[in-house]
Amino acid sequence: MLTIDQLQKSYPNFKLNLSLTLPTGKISGILGPNGAGKSTFFKLLLGLITPDQGQIVIEEQPFATWLAARPDNISATFPDSGFNETLSITEISQLLTAFYPAFVSSDFLATCQQLNLPLNQATKTFSTGMQAELKVLIALAHPAKLLILDEPTTGLDVGTRQIIIQLIQDYHQHYPESTILVSSHIASDIEALAEQTVIITDGQLKLQASLRDIQQHYGLFSVSQTVFSQLDRTKLSKLGQQADQVTCLTADRQAFAALPTLKTPTIDDLLLAFTATTKAVINA
């Protein structure tokens, strides 16, 4: 289990302040608009930046202690990460062999060949899709206890995105004890991969729920201010208001079944609701 306790990081125009618990062996989708704090959160997890306050605990150990004992327990990829582009896949494989005791070069090279990635060609000559596939393959090249994938499908065509999604799903099946965090602006990718979703805006946690709970129990609706004043507010959150219309989210959809505007929210609906009303989010 990964526990984030009052983790804070401040910049001149931004502050991250997060507390949440992420289950072991699950894929969690980390969502939010640009500037929400997703990449800052991931960099704190990787120790690339130092928190101002708070702590990270994994498997009942301080995160730094856990990682120092086994650096290969973690793997990650970022949109701007990667090896020197003058290197070939064969040369990258040699480096990975030195980095990770559990890395199997023959398996890695075979998978690259299956995806038609040239093994002895400088990666700077690769297309955007080929480079994205290689980045994910490198991140998945060894059994990590914590796998962080920051925007692995951004800017890719549908076919390449599906390949990457399948690679992540295969990894999850092969290493079911690995905790996987995936960020994306593409809701359908998160719906295809994640077992739970975490929405962050303005550096704060706005929602954490399993996709099953969202599909089975959550509801989103808009009503007039008059109707809103008559509702059981203990079962809903007021997300915002435009003119006389109040937008509400509930974790008990059945309790508001009589409302004509009630619907089961999609990930896109939730992102839009929280993003569009970020400055006006009020717990009812």
Within 8 A by CB and 6+ apart from 56, the residues are 2, 3, 4, 5, 7, 44, 45, 62, 63
Top pLDDT among 88 and 185 is at 88
Residue 268 vs residues 125, 128, 181, 273: alpha-carbon distances, Å: 35, 26, 19, 8
Q: How far is CA 174 from CA 25, 104, 143, 171, 260, in A?
A: 11, 14, 9, 5, 45
Query: How many other C-beta atoms can be found within 10 angstroms of the C-beta atom of residue 95?
Result: 14
Looking at the DSSP bridge assignments, the partners of residue 29 are 182, 197
Structure tokens at 116: 């038609």
pLDDT digits (tens, 9 = 90+) for 65-95: 888 888 888 999 988 888 999 999 999 999 9
Residue 280's pLDDT is 43
Domains of the chain, by residue range, sit at 2-210, 218-280
Report the SS3 class of residue 34.
Answer: coil
Mean pLDDT of the chain: 89
Band of the pLDDT at 56, cuts 50, 70, 90? very high
pLDDT digits 0-9 by tens, 228-275: 999 988 998 878 888 888 999 999 999 999 999 999 999 989 988 887
**What's the pLDDT score for residue 277?**
52
What is the reported pLDDT for 272?
85
Residues in a beta bridge with 242: 245
Does the pLDDT of residue 279 top 50, yes or no?
no
Q: Where are the beta strands (DSSP E) in the chain?
A: 2-11, 14-22, 27-31, 53-58, 61-62, 74-77, 146-150, 179-183, 196-201, 204-210, 219-224, 236-242, 245-250
Contacts of 194 by beta carbon, 8 Å cutoff, 6+ apart: 27, 28, 29, 182, 211
Could you tell me the pTM of the whole model?
0.88
What percent of the chain stands above pLDDT 70? 97
Looking at per-residue confidence, does 1 or 265 come out higher? 265
Q: Which stretches within 104-182 are classed as H helix?
A: 105-114, 128-139, 158-174
Tell me which CATH code domain 2-210 carries: 3.40.50.300
Name the least confident of 224-228, 246-250, 280-284. 280-284
R_g of the chain, CA atoms, integer Å:
21
